[in-house]
A and B are shown apart, each in its own frame.
Chain A
Amino acid sequence: MLSGLLKRFTRQKTKSKDEAKKRLQFSLIYDKLDLNDTILMDLQNDIVDVISKYFEIDKQSLELKVKRDDNVSALVFNTPILQVRRRRA
């Protein structure tokens, strides 16, 4: 019983640092592209829609990132592919 009580008190909520990281990653992307949050969200959704036509993807773990090199910035969309969708003739 005691351990149950203790567990209740120490139960992990979503870690605030994870939220910080996610928010930072997002804001840095649109800082650089001069895009706002909604445009970026729309872009991500559109990309997901297109890819979903051909593949089954893991929507939980996809990632939109801006990669930076010396003088090139690249938009990188990373998603695990679960399965190729069979196309009907």
Chain B
Amino acid sequence: MEGKIIVVTSGKGGVGKTTTTSAIGAALALEGNRVAIVDMDIGLRNLDVVMGLENRIVFNIVDVVQQKCKIEQAAIRDRRIENLFLIPASQSDNKDVLSTAGIERVAEDLRKQFDYIIMDSPAGIERGFENSIVGASEALVVCTPDVSAVRDADRVIGILYSRSLTPKLIVNRIEPGRVKRGEMLSHEDVMDVLAIELAGLVPMDDKVLISSNTGTPLVLQNDSKAGQAFKRIARRLNGEADLPFEAPTDRSSMWGKISRTFGLR
């Protein structure tokens, strides 16, 4: 097996990196791939609770890198989705415990065992971020349509370029109504500013919080717009590069059209 390592980054925290990582990982597994999600946010682990696997942690990525256990021992099998595994972060160590050489070795091993390895990078551009891009062959940058997220995304994109990675962009939490009213940057605006290729567009969706509340995979919820959007991103990563991008639309836009037709607006 010669798996692909995809790193999910953002620069700014709180834009949906962890949600994105778990959703894309789950969607890739549903497509029939063997997938490992690796939480590289050492000291602030989160993917385990988001994925509902927090009670089953024995070893973590730090143990793997320090050769205290094998990958198979640290990788937790998902309860619902076949071929989906999580290698959790350590909660007690700090970011400096991981050596670059150690990560490279583990990356090499992971590639042999999985089709896709999705690395969730910590916010920021310090050591933890650098660690998470070691061994990556592809990079996704998650960004919300606001000035601070876009600016931080730009910074991260610059760093990824300098490491010979050509990142693709995920615009998350798009609110179509506000975009239409000119209150929110559209994905075209964000792409204009950042000048990189798109990986996908994800609408704002209340279901995201609910699915993380219960630790259930978002992509298994057919009524979740964000979940469906992440599935499309996974399909693009998984060989369907030409799958068209669908700008999120407002359900109320139909009413908008009707009311405009009747001169109510």
Task: Judge whether A27 and B182 touch: CB under 8 Å.
Answer: no
From B155, B162, B193, B265, A25 is in contact (CB under 8 Å) with B193
Interface bits A17-43 vs B (CB < 8 Å: 1, else 0): 110110111011001100000000000
- Among B30-38, B88-96, B184-192, B238-246, the stretch that binds chain A is B184-192
Instruction: Tell me, yes or no, whether B223 is within 8 Å of chain A by CB.
Output: no
**B207 → chain A, closest Cβ, in Å?**
25
Contact with B along A36-79 (1 / 0, CB 8 A): 00000000000000000000000000000001101100000000
Q: Which of B146, B155, B158, B181 contacts A68 (CB 8 A)?
A: B158
- Interface pair B265/A23, CB less than 8 Å apart: no
A15 and B185 form a contact (CB under 8 A) = no
Q: How far is the CB of A64 from chain B (nearest CB, A)?
A: 13
Q: CA A24 – CA B150 in complex, angstroms? A: 8
Name the prevailing secondary structure of the A interface residues: helix
With A31-B155, A68-B195 known as contacts, the answer to whether A24 contacts B265 (CB < 8 A) is no
Is A6 an interface residue when CB atoms closer than 8 A count as contact? yes
A16 to chain B, nearest CB (A): 6
Query: What are the 9 closest A-B residue pairs judged by CB atoms, nearest first?
Result: A15-B182, A21-B189, A17-B185, A24-B193, A28-B154, A17-B182, A20-B147, A24-B150, A24-B147
> Interface residues, chain A, CB within 8 Å of chain B?
3, 6, 10, 12, 15-18, 20-21, 23-25, 27-28, 31-32, 67-68, 70-71
